[in-house]
A and B are shown apart, each in its own frame.
Chain A
Amino acid sequence: MPRISWRRLAGGERRWAVLGLGAVIALWEIGHRVYGDFVLPSPLATIAALGRLGASGDLWPAVVTTARDALSGFLAATLAGSLLGGLAGRSTPIRAMLQPIATLLIGVPAIAWVVLSLLWFGGSGLAATFSVAIAVGPVVFAAAVQGTRTVDGGLRTMARAFRVPFGAMIVDVYLPHVLSYLLPALGTALAMSWKVAVMAELLSGTGGIGDGLAAARAEVDTAKTMAWVVVVVALLLIVERLVIEPVRRYFETWRHGLPGEAA
């Protein structure tokens, strides 16, 4: 009965997650003991460095700046990517025109976008936002195209037969289906957004976690570097849990067959 044993495993899922994280921290500590403070500061030293960052007042502004850079770019990418992707999914000429462009944009390394946008936008905050949007947009676009293309033709015919207005067509027929493609892609896109934002900040020196990393590198302070990394990862996890996860749960209620109000 494999089904039963799987269910039992899922019941203790949290315990396994803790075990996995614990293993990483243990390896980290072992690495520290083997290679010493300079190469790999201990987890405790990293926490201490994080505390110093907080106390010095550098932490909070950096978090705000990076969140602004990453989320504004992510938002722009989501809006433009899903709108254009939706259009391309419905219209063959638009798809034929936009798909090669999206492939081309995906092919350009993210770091190249950072360099270009620094040249174009200079030290203004726009450089990071633009880098994030253009690096992440094509990922959202591709998912939106695929989602829109695979909407059930029968449901479309049905909606047409009942002369359902355009708004209801989008909200009730297209959106729930497209979201099943879009939401996983948005998770990936969000993770990418933080990485690109930090990269852009590191090069532009206009504040944010990337700027902090650059400073830590200049001071050859490994513990501080690790502390910044911990901050980025924590931010990513918090936003993923707070934004993406609830949205996913809301739109997938029907899959689990839980009673829900909908019209």
Chain B
Amino acid sequence: MSEEGTLVASGVTHSFAGTKVLDGIDLRVSRGSVVAILGPSGSGKTTLLHILGGLLTPDAGRVDRPFERPAFVFQEPLLLPWRTARGNVAFGLAGLRLARSERLSRARTMLVKVGLGQDDAVLYPHQLSGGMKKRVALARALAIEPDVLLLDEAFSALDVGLSREMQQLVRLDAQERGVTVVLVTHDLSEAVRLADRVIVLAGRPGRIATRLSIDRPARLRDDAFVEAEIRRIAALEAIRDAFRPTLSG
């Protein structure tokens, strides 16, 4: 029943130390589509992303992961402190059969794409700003030319202009190479700008509160469309309910 290359999760339930954090999650992400997982903090978004990416095995439920080269951008940059920016990007390529020089040149190219030049490439993480570290982490993920890209608040530490630029980069990459993208965010505008479909997680344990789809192609979404869409979605009863606990608490 599932078409080729679809990421499918059914009945996924997970607990940490006896506390249930996810309950009965069903979702399908078809190849080349962009799905945003939206929800207040503590709703299990990161856990779900790790399960989808194969970093965690759920207590119950099934996940089909028909991909070979997953790439993550984590909430924290998680760079090796003893490697330069370029060394960190090249480290992500360690699993591919590439010569060292090839890895380094790919790393250099990708760093330029995220806006880090020659001078920045030889700096160590502790010499980089928070936003620069995030960009290195994104470059590390894009460099391996993944077939699925899992983003955990990847753009949240960046200023507005930069975060737009990085979103653009991910969107173009997704379109050009048909990458499946799953992104976790608490920022509605990020979801509206990038995603084809939005899954809203809420409650403790997290359940799917609602599913939305955004039909206009991502490249045709201008600021006016994004604003209108945000207003429309924010007005939905299900969304208001999902985010209420964090607003009052």
User: A residues within 8 Å of B by Cβ?
Assistant: 154-155, 157-165, 168, 172-173, 176-177, 251, 254, 257, 259-263
Contact = CB atoms under 8 A, between A and B. Distances in A.
A263 B72 contact: no
Given A154-B76, A254-B81, A263 B91 contact: yes
B55 A260 contact: no
A179 to B, nearest CB: 9
Interface string B79-92: 01111101100111
Nearest 7 pairs between A and B by C-beta?
Answer: A168-B94, A176-B82, A158-B78, A262-B87, A161-B72, A254-B82, A163-B95
B172 to A, nearest CB: 22
B53 interface: yes
A22 B78 CA distance: 49
A254 B79 CA distance: 13
Nearest to B86: A263
A226 B84 CA distance: 49
Given A162-B92, A164-B94, A257-B127, A176 B104 contact: no
Given A154-B78, A158-B78, A163-B95, A172 B72 contact: no
Given A162-B71, A162-B144, A164-B94, A259 B80 contact: no
B131 interface: no
Contact of A172 (B69, B70, B91, B122): B91
B244 interface: no
B82 A157 contact: no
A204 to B, nearest CB: 43
30 contacts: A154-B76, A154-B78, A155-B78, A157-B74, A158-B72, A159-B91, A160-B55, A161-B53, A161-B55, A161-B74, A162-B71, A162-B72, A162-B95, A162-B144, A163-B69, A164-B92, A164-B94, A164-B95, A165-B94, A254-B83, A254-B124, A257-B126, A259-B84, A259-B123, A260-B122, A262-B83, A262-B84, A263-B86, A263-B87, A263-B90
Contact of B80 (A157, A163, A165, A176): A176
A159 B103 CA distance: 16
A30 B144 CA distance: 70
B95 to A, nearest CB: 4
Given A161-B55, A162-B71, A168-B95, 17 more contacts: A158-B72, A158-B74, A158-B78, A162-B92, A162-B94, A254-B81, A254-B82, A254-B84, A257-B124, A259-B122, A260-B84, A261-B84, A263-B83, A263-B90, A263-B103, A263-B104, A263-B107
A257 B90 contact: no
A99 B69 CA distance: 40
Contacts of A165: 94-95
A164 B122 contact: no
B177 interface: no
Interface in B126-163: 126-127, 140, 144
B82 A257 contact: no
Contacts of B95: 162-165, 168
Nearest to B70: A161
Interface string B45-89: 000000001010000000000000111101010101111101100
A154 B107 CA distance: 22
B100 interface: yes
B82 A262 contact: yes
Contacts of B86: 263
A263 B94 CA distance: 9
Nearest to A260: B84
Contacts of A160: 55
A159 B78 CA distance: 9
A254 B80 CA distance: 10
A50 B174 CA distance: 75
